[in-house]
A and B are shown apart, each in its own frame.
Chain A
Amino acid sequence: MDEMQTRLAGGLEAIETGDLFYARGRTLQMKAFKGEIASFTESDNQWVSARAIADSRLGTAYTERFDERSIAEVAVRARENARFGGRDPGNTLYPSGEQGEFDGRRGSLDTVTVDGKKEMTLAAERVAKACDPRIVNVPYCYYAESDGAHAIVSSHGLNKAQLTSSCMCFLMVMARDGDETQTGAEFAISADPSSLDTEEAARTAARRAIEKLGAREIDSGEYRVVFENLAASELLGAFIASPGSPFYGETIQKGKSMLAGKLGTKIGSDLFTVIDDPARGLKPSFFDGDGVATRRLALVERGTFTTVVHNVYSASREEDARTTGHASRGRERVGTGLHGPYLENGEGGLDRLLAEMGSGILITEVEGLHAGLNTVTGDFSLSAKGFMVEDGTKSYAVRNVVVAGNFFELASRIAAKAGDLREDTRGGFDAPSVMIEKVSVSGR
């Protein structure tokens, strides 16, 4: 890390005003298939992205080459690109010389040998297959781990670095009965492979696939709906944590947010409390892509919109705004991003929530998130999988179902929540199961 920071400091001389962001990731990934390790991948990758600001104009350049000359070159190219950029008061640097090194690793990836990790992955596939004779295939059974570092240095003297690591497994299982094929998926994530329960994940994935067999079509209409935790996470996250999230200052300034002018007003039901906690989960963020220290914030409290999410760019474009520490950083650009966002947990299990619903539909999966929704208007229309619920209990599985509605209406119609919030849901947002009073569902 130290050697890299020295090299970055060299790049700073060429950039005049700007910063350099460095990221390195090492990964190990393996896949079990039909009792063998079908693929085994190891990687080591790093990049430096330079952001130059001159006269309120922005230029960016990145490189994967790491000799001193390449890093100096990337700084020069960023500065040249800035000459052609448009002037924008948002193009400014975080004026701080803060320093810090943070170790966000919550465990060691070395508690299990590589051979041990192979055995865990193979065992997960075996367990999934043994669950039921109708499990015909396990197309995805992965173990993956990564350890990453990133650092930022700026011409104001800012110098911060952090480390994170985690491991996870993911399975997708196929069940078949006659002509009908259904899939079930599950993941588990941990700081330490010795505490990663791959076999439990396998059983859950298998159960999900089997449960969906015997799916029937249902009539179109308006139903009471419970979105199970993972489906709720994906659906709500596709709006709240998307690149064009209506909560972002950048989105509001572009006129693409329905939340413009709504700060301090009621935008959801009392159960709609959205928190961003950078310390949550296994990939904590100590500083954002601008180098600003992160902190826990409520975006929405009991239905009231309390925080507009800003990075330095969007905050600098408004008179009274300050960055909330939410710059995301890729090689190409600095954007806005949340760190560990979630919908506040409810109480009780999913069973209790279904009992409260009485009759309706339990949606366990939504598909087509990148096509079937509009983050500006909040409209969505997504194919979904789930179950009919009768007398408060799960009945038969349903198929060819499309749920349609509007995110902002959904937020106002959250009538109840379960206490089944998970951590580190894929998709960047965590939510417990939620019940919505009225959702349009189209079937046959």
Chain B
Amino acid sequence: MASSPSSHQLDDDLLRSTVAAALAHGGDYCDLFIEDRDDTTIHFDDGKVSGITTGTTAGAGIRVICGVNYVYLYTGNPTRDALSRLAERAAEAVRTGQSGNLGPLSVRQERGIVRPKIEPGSVSLAEKIRLIERANQASRDHSPLIREVVVRYADDDQRVTIATSDGTIARDRRVHTRFVVQSIAERDGKKETGFYGPGRSMGWEFFDLIAPEAIAQESARIALVRLDADYAPQGKMPVVIDNEFGGVIFHEACGHPLEATSIANDASVFCGKCGEKIANEVVSAVDDGTIPGGWGSADYDDEANPTQRNQLITNGVLTSYMIDRLGSIKMGMPGTHSSRRESYKYAPTSRMTNTFIDRGTDSLESMIGSIDRGIYCVKLGGGSVNPPTTDFNFAVQEGYLISGGRVDRPVKGASLIGKGSEILMNIEMVGDNLDATGTGMCGSLSGSIPAAVGQPAIKVSGLVVGGR
């Protein structure tokens, strides 16, 4: 069996002839996506390196759109033979009769939004492990109550080539580096975990931005706060959600229902609401794939379009959805260059990149001061949403009771429950401390992708707090 070439080695003619072959029996549009990717992950646990994995992903996927429907075929190990077989199978599956057309060739140039200064592959495993050991030490030095430190280092380097029947060819490179520390504190047999795991579309220079010690100390700090926490009260109350990862609330409950995946299938409360007020007027929100080094950034989306900044909500009015090619066809609206996928194993679809509520004017103090009894959430955990209803639920990792306008004791075991459509209206105050670097992996139809979340602190009236 022949070895598959790296995606950037394939010449334009081969790419174009493969796309043409897939359209041989019909179809309105075709795109070919070829990737090869290197991953390195190092796990550190129990005071030592517990696992090192390096991996190679290589594959190709071909998609043909006919009307509002599509065919998608993919295979690993994309040799030249495999590509031609894939195109033939795609053409067979389409069978509409007339052959599709290819647009004039247009090769897109690198834009420099993601450009690693120090390639992760150029740094030795020994050096990566030294960084992990520094984090381990910093967490343990933070407090004698820290009993265990788990670190996960991960970098990936993905080269993609995308060729479309419009004639566009884009070659892009996406590089990510992430450093995740979990610190476990123990006192009187009670254990609590603190978690912090920032990442960027950067190479090794990421660690000039954030030292591993700082990441470790933050996780240790959260674990200690949780150790002192008592269970949260239950019921409906005002909540202040602080910046950075606090933005996961907007991502889950409002971002997903604004994706074409939900809108084009009539499965969102925001269908047909463009130009209408869907949020309190203090709310403006953005999805911006062009932030240099941003965790969810890229030069090109997965349909070879240059990424862009999309203003989703302007002063409470819905101004844009996030739309991919297929969504654009179904909705009769222009695309917003929002097409993404985990890998060639998924057809691309509308996804978020770096999504955040934009800066407001209120101070964090004034928000807390305005609440007699409520919750102040400093760090949220993960969450989920049911797109048709926008019902959401997410965990509070670090939270405090607000009592008489002041931050009182820490609370744990709380979750915030509500509806995306309602919370947007109930955001009463938006802070001035925007941080759009919350780091998460977002799972949806086209797989798990790096997506940044963010916001300044916000005050929401009447959220349901579930505790015990």
Chain A residues with CB under 8 Å of chain B are: 33, 36-47, 58-70, 74, 77, 81-82, 84-88, 136-137, 139, 174, 181-183, 220, 254-256, 331-333, 367-372, 374, 376-377, 379, 381-383, 400, 402, 404-406, 440, 442, 444
Contact B72 A41 (CB under 8 A): yes
B96 part of interface (Cβ distance < 8 Å): no
Q: What chain A residues lie within 8 Å of B93 (beta carbons)?
A: 40, 42
Contact of A383 among B75, B126, B345, B391 (CB under 8 A): B391
Specify the chain B residue showing the minimal Cβ separation from A67.
B3
Q: What chain A residues lie within 8 Å of B394 (beta carbons)?
A: 368, 371-372
Contact B50 A139 (CB under 8 A): no
Q: How far is the CA of A85 from the CA of B129 in the complex (A)?
A: 9
Contact B71 A40 (CB under 8 A): yes
Q: How far is the CA of A4 from the CA of B398 in the complex (A)?
A: 50
Contact of A381 among B50, B74, B413 (CB under 8 A): B413
Q: What chain B residues lie within 8 Å of A406 (beta carbons)?
A: 468
Q: Can you give 11 contacting A-B residue pairs, CB < 8 Å?
A: A36-B68, A40-B69, A42-B74, A43-B75, A58-B50, A62-B56, A139-B265, A220-B234, A383-B391, A404-B413, A440-B468
Contact A254 B384 (CB under 8 A): no
Q: How far is the CA of A85 from the CA of B93 in the complex (A)?
A: 48
Contact B384 A367 (CB under 8 A): yes
CB distance from A36 to the nearest CB of B (A): 6
Q: How far is the CA of A402 from the CA of B233 in the complex (A)?
A: 13
Contact of B72 among A39, A181, A332 (CB under 8 A): A39
Asked whether A402 and B53 contact (CB < 8 A) given A47-B76, A371-B384, A376-B191, the answer is no
Contact B267 A139 (CB under 8 A): yes
Q: How far is the CA of A181 from the CA of B266 in the complex (A)?
A: 12
Q: What chain A residues lie within 8 Å of B76 (beta carbons)?
A: 44-47, 64-66
Asked whether A62 and B388 contact (CB < 8 A) given A139-B265, A404-B468, the answer is no
Q: What chain A residues lie within 8 Å of B52 (beta carbons)?
A: 58-60, 81-82, 84-85
Contact A442 B53 (CB under 8 A): no
Contact of A372 among B184, B345, B415 (CB under 8 A): B415
Q: How far is the CA of A67 from the CA of B147 in the complex (A)?
A: 46
Q: How far is the CA of A371 from the CA of B468 in the complex (A)?
A: 15
Q: What chain A residues lie within 8 Å of B69 (beta carbons)?
A: 36-40
Q: How far is the CA of A379 from the CA of B190 in the complex (A)?
A: 13
Asked whether A33 and B265 contact (CB < 8 A) given A40-B72, A64-B57, the answer is yes
Asked whether A77 and B54 contact (CB < 8 A) given A69-B3, A137-B265, A372-B415, the answer is yes
Contact B73 A371 (CB under 8 A): no
Q: How far is the CA of A58 from the CA of B48 in the complex (A)?
A: 12
Q: How far is the CA of A379 from the CA of B120 in the complex (A)?
A: 39
Top 7 closest pairs, chain A to chain B, by CB: A86-B48, A368-B393, A402-B466, A404-B468, A442-B234, A139-B267, A81-B52
Q: How far is the CA of A351 from the CA of B97 in the complex (A)?
A: 55
B99 part of interface (Cβ distance < 8 Å): no
Contact of A65 among B3, B48, B125, B395 (CB under 8 A): B3
Q: What chain A residues lie within 8 Å of B465 (beta carbons)?
A: 442
Q: What chain A residues lie within 8 Å of B48 (beta carbons)?
A: 85-88
Q: What chain A residues lie within 8 Å of B43 (beta carbons)?
A: 333
Q: How far is the CA of A77 from the CA of B54 in the complex (A)?
A: 8
Contact of A43 among B58, B73, B386, B466 (CB under 8 A): B73
Q: How far is the CA of A66 from the CA of B82 in the complex (A)?
A: 12
Tell me the residues in window 27-51 of chain B with beta carbons closer than 8 Å to chain A beta carbons: 41, 43, 45-51
B285 part of interface (Cβ distance < 8 Å): no
Contact B55 A61 (CB under 8 A): yes
Q: How far is the CA of A45 from the CA of B59 in the complex (A)?
A: 9
Q: How far is the CA of A81 from the CA of B42 in the complex (A)?
A: 10
Contact A442 B384 (CB under 8 A): no
CB distance from B249 to the nearest CB of A (A): 11
Q: What chain B residues lie within 8 Å of A65 (beta carbons)?
A: 3-4, 56, 58, 76-77
CB distance from B419 to the nearest CB of A (A): 8
B464 part of interface (Cβ distance < 8 Å): yes
Q: Find the residue from B46, B234, B347, B392 having the highest chain A CB count within 10 A.
A: B234
Contact A381 B466 (CB under 8 A): yes
Q: How far is the CA of A74 from the CA of B370 in the complex (A)?
A: 60
Q: What chain B residues lie within 8 Å of A402 (beta carbons)?
A: 234, 393, 415, 417, 464, 466
Contact B49 A39 (CB under 8 A): no
CB distance from B360 to the nearest CB of A (A): 26
CB distance from B329 to the nearest CB of A (A): 12
Q: What chain A residues lie within 8 Å of B53 (beta carbons)?
A: 60-62, 81, 331-333
Contact B383 A371 (CB under 8 A): yes
Contact B70 A371 (CB under 8 A): no
Q: How far is the CA of A197 from the CA of B89 in the complex (A)?
A: 29
Contact B415 A381 (CB under 8 A): yes
Contact B347 A41 (CB under 8 A): yes
Q: How far is the CA of A332 from the CA of B152 in the complex (A)?
A: 13
Specify the chain B residue showing the minimal Cβ separation from A82.
B52
Known: A65-B4, A371-B384, A382-B393. 14 other contacts (CB 8 A): A41-B71, A41-B347, A60-B52, A62-B56, A63-B56, A65-B3, A85-B48, A85-B51, A137-B266, A139-B265, A372-B466, A404-B234, A404-B413, A405-B468
Q: What chain B residues lie within 8 Å of A41 (beta carbons)?
A: 71-74, 347
Contact B74 A442 (CB under 8 A): no
B148 part of interface (Cβ distance < 8 Å): yes
Write out, one digit per residue, whether chain B residues 434-468 have a CB within 8 A of any chain A CB (1) or not (0). 00000000000000000000000000000011111
CB distance from A370 to the nearest CB of B (A): 5
CB distance from A212 to the nearest CB of B (A): 10
Q: How far is the CA of A24 from the CA of B340 in the complex (A)?
A: 25
B167 part of interface (Cβ distance < 8 Å): no
B292 part of interface (Cβ distance < 8 Å): no
CB distance from A318 to the nearest CB of B (A): 14
Q: How far is the CA of A183 from the CA of B267 in the complex (A)?
A: 10
Q: What chain B residues lie within 8 Å of A255 (beta carbons)?
A: 147-148, 191
CB distance from A169 to the nearest CB of B (A): 17
Q: How far is the CA of A254 from the CA of B150 in the complex (A)?
A: 11
Contact A81 B54 (CB under 8 A): yes
CB distance from A92 to the nearest CB of B (A): 14
Q: How far is the CA of A370 from the CA of B465 in the complex (A)?
A: 17
Write out, one digit per residue, whether chain B residues 368-410 have a CB within 8 A of any chain A CB (1) or not (0). 0000000000000111101111011111000000000000000
Q: How far is the CA of A285 from the CA of B71 in the complex (A)?
A: 32
Q: How far is the CA of A47 from the CA of B154 in the complex (A)?
A: 20
B236 part of interface (Cβ distance < 8 Å): yes
CB distance from B111 to the nearest CB of A (A): 28
Contact B466 A442 (CB under 8 A): yes
Contact A367 B51 (CB under 8 A): no
Contact A383 B417 (CB under 8 A): yes
Contact A332 B55 (CB under 8 A): yes
B193 part of interface (Cβ distance < 8 Å): yes
Contact B55 A331 (CB under 8 A): yes
Q: Find the residue from B77, B147, B384, B465 having the highest chain A CB count within 10 A.
A: B77
Contact A64 B77 (CB under 8 A): yes
Q: What chain A residues lie within 8 Å of B112 (beta carbons)?
A: none
CB distance from B238 to the nearest CB of A (A): 15
Q: How far is the CA of A67 from the CA of B165 in the complex (A)?
A: 31
Write out, one digit per residue, whether chain B residues 64-94 have a CB within 8 A of any chain A CB (1) or not (0). 0001111111111100000000000100010
Q: What chain B residues lie within 8 Å of A69 (beta carbons)?
A: 3
Asked whether A85 and B56 contact (CB < 8 A) given A67-B2, A70-B3, the answer is no
Contact A39 B3 (CB under 8 A): no
Contact B74 A45 (CB under 8 A): yes
Q: What chain A residues lie within 8 Å of B67 (beta carbons)?
A: 36
Asked whether A85 and B234 contact (CB < 8 A) given A42-B93, A405-B468, A442-B466, the answer is no
Q: How far is the CA of A69 from the CA of B414 in the complex (A)?
A: 52
Asked whether A66 and B468 contact (CB < 8 A) given A85-B51, A368-B415, A371-B382, the answer is no
Contact A62 B74 (CB under 8 A): no
Contact A42 B89 (CB under 8 A): yes
Q: Find the residue from B50, B76, B236, B467 having the highest chain A CB count within 10 A.
A: B76
Contact A404 B466 (CB under 8 A): yes
Contact B468 A381 (CB under 8 A): yes
Q: What chain A residues lie within 8 Å of B265 (beta carbons)?
A: 33, 137, 139
